[in-house]
Amino acid sequence: MLKVRFFSLIREALDCEELDLEYAPELITLEEVKSHLISKGGDLWQEALRQPNVVHALNHRVVEPSHPISDGDEIAFFPPMTGG
């Protein structure tokens, strides 16, 4: 199982804080997880997750979309950070 979390503007656009996704071997990278979510969710998810500045995180670390994933991972998608 994969845990997928969304924050800020993306969380609001999707009206979803987090979801559990069944792990499958064809979900090799974060990019494939994203494509899978878009194929299930449709236009709204496409618009929210295909923005060019979406940040990808894997197990609490920012990574490139091409980073491989494993069963049990926690994945997050969010806009650029604005703390401080």
Partner 1 sequence: MTVSVQQQAFDIQAQYELLLGSRAGAGVATFTGYVRDLSEGGTVTALELEHYPGMTEKVLGEIGASAEQRFGLLGWRIVHRFGLLGDQEAIVWVGTVADHRTEAFAGCQFIMDSLKTRAPFWKREHLDGGNALWVKSKAEDLDRELAWQEKQV
**42 or 61, CB closer to partner 1?**
61
Contacts with partner 1 by CB under 8 A lie at 5, 7-9, 53, 57, 60-62, 76, 78-84
- We find the least distance from the C-beta atom of residue 82 to partner 1, in angstroms, to be 5
Burial class (CB in 10 A: 0-12, 13-18, 19+), 82: exposed
State the minimum distance, in angstroms, from the CB of residue 57 to partner 1.
Answer: 6
Q: Which is nearer to partner 1, 15 or 26 (CB)?
A: 15
CB 61 within 8 Å of CB 33: no
CA angle, 40 as apex, 48 and 19 as ends, to 5°?
75
